[in-house]
């Protein structure tokens, strides 16, 4: 009987904690952590064993045969991307073009060579998406830098507050926590 009451009590306490605002704040703080750990583990693995994601057909095509269709700015940006980032861009572009109702593969298999108007629409869609993709990446990096800077300034402020508290304690004659003297 006591065990049943104990289990029900634990269940109620667990449910209450899970629904509390503390749980929501903790979940919000930890939401990106597993992704960051996964990315760092993938980076470590690739650094140790040299495995890089394979080049996508679109990236290969855009850097060679398709380069003449794209503006120089796009070609320069794409050429400067490391293989990991170019793979991520290609995957995101694949999702985007699928949402528009066309397949990225139709660019790479030269099936649009005889349809210049449609080819131009596809290329414009890729260029416009790449600009938005680059801008979003820049903003994300700026936000990460600002967040790190805010955390650093918050740490500095906390350090200054602690130093001020200790100085005011010294002036007011309030003793700080004394260490226990060992008795032998």
Over the stretch 73-123, which tens digit does the pLDDT of each residue have? 999 998 888 888 888 898 899 888 888 888 888 888 878 788 888 888 888
pLDDT of residue 174: 53
pLDDT of residue 82: 87
Give the C-alpha separation, 103 to 84, whole Å. Answer: 22
pLDDT of residue 28: 59
pLDDT of residue 50: 66
Over the stretch 19-74, which tens digit does the pLDDT of each residue have? 777 666 666 565 556 667 777 777 777 777 765 556 688 888 888 888 888 999 99
Decide if 24 is inside a domain: no
Higher pLDDT, 10 or 182: 10
Q: Count CB-CB contacts under 10 A for residue 75.
A: 16
Give the C-alpha separation, 59 to 79, whole Å. Answer: 9
Query: 109: closest CA among 71, 70, 60?
Result: 60
Q: Which domain holds residue 62?
A: 51-165
Query: 127: closest CA among 56, 85, 67?
Result: 67
Decide if 32 is inside a domain: no
Over the stretch 114-156, which tens digit does the pLDDT of each residue have? 888 888 888 899 999 999 999 998 998 899 888 888 888 887 7
Overall domain count for the chain? 1
Higher pLDDT, 120 or 173: 120
Decide if 55 is inside a domain: yes
pTM, to two decimals: 0.54
183 has pLDDT over 70: no
Give the C-alpha separation, 96 to 58, whole Å. Answer: 14
pLDDT of residue 172: 58
Decide if 17 is inside a domain: no
160 has pLDDT over 60: yes
Decide if 137 is inside a domain: yes
pLDDT of residue 72: 92
Decide if 183 is inside a domain: no
Decide if 8 is inside a domain: no
Residue pair 56/66 in contact (Cβ under 8 Å)? The answer is no
Query: 126: closest CA among 184, 164, 75?
Result: 75
Give the C-alpha separation, 144 to 156, whole Å. Answer: 18
Decide if 176 is inside a domain: no
DSSP string computed for 66-135 = GGGGS-HHHHHHHHHS-HHHHHHHHHHHHHHHHHHT--THHHHTTTTTT-HHHHHHHHHHHHHHHHHHHH
């Amino acid at each position: 009987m006591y065990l049943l009451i104990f289990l029900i009590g634990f269940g109620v306490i667990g449910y209450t904690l899970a629904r509390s605002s503390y749980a929501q704040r903790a979940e919000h703080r930890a939401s990106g952590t597993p992704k960051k750990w996964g990315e760092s583990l993938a980076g470590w693995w690739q650094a140790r064993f040299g495995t890089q994601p394979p080049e996508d057909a679109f990236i290969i095509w855009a850097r060679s045969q398709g380069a003449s269709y794209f503006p120089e700015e796009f070609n320069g940006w794409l050429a400067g991307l490391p293989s990991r980032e170019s793979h991520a861009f290609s995957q995101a572009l694949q999702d985007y073009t699928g949402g528009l109702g066309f397949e990225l593969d139709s660019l790479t298999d030269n099936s649009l060579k005889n349809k210049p108007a449609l080819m131009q629409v596809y290329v414009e869609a890729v260029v416009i998406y790449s600009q938005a993709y680059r801008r979003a990446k820049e903003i994300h990096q700026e936000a990460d830098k600002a967040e790190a800077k805010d955390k650093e300034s918050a740490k500095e402020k906390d350090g200054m507050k602690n130093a001020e508290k200790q100085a005011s304690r010294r002036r007011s004659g309030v003793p700080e926590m004394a260490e226990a003297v060992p008795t032998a």
